[in-house]
Amino acid sequence: MEGSKKFLVYEFMSNIGSLADLLFKASVRPAWKYRVRFALDVARVLFYLHEECRAIDADENKGAYGGLKPRAQDRTLLPSGRRML
């Protein structure tokens, strides 16, 4: 790394659109078992960001990716007083 610059590195994810579009605008909407899984996966991501790494998730942009797994995207993270690595 160069100087004090910090980077977030993500795995490659084939984007199939926003989670909102998938849930509300798609011609074929996901079954309820998938909707519940989406909600639980997003809750796990938010819990991790707020409780484990002590960052504030200042962006509500969630996407749906290959395998219909929601992922956080376009992150805006604000430190919450604890030094982040």
- Six token digits for residue 59: 């962006």
Q: What is the pTM of this model?
A: 0.50
Amino acid 20: pLDDT: 82
With respect to residue 2, please indicate whether it lies within any of the assigned structural domains. no
With respect to residue 66, please indicate whether it lies within any of the assigned structural domains. yes
With respect to residue 61, please indicate whether it lies within any of the assigned structural domains. yes
Q: Are 54 and 80 in contact (CB under 8 A)?
A: yes
Amino acid 85: pLDDT: 41
Q: Which residue is listed with tokens 């996407």?
A: 63
User: What is the per-residue pLDDT across 12-40, written as a single tens digit (0 to 9) for each?
Assistant: 666 667 778 888 888 888 899 988 988 89
With respect to residue 29, please indicate whether it lies within any of the assigned structural domains. yes
**Is the pLDDT score of 57 beyond 70?**
no
With respect to residue 84, please indicate whether it lies within any of the assigned structural domains. no
Amino acid 62: pLDDT: 53
Q: Which residue is listed with tokens 């849930």?
A: 23
With respect to residue 3, please indicate whether it lies within any of the assigned structural domains. no
Domain count within the chain: 1
Name the β-bridge partners of 55: 79
Domain holding 62, by residue range, is 15-79
Amino acid 44: pLDDT: 86
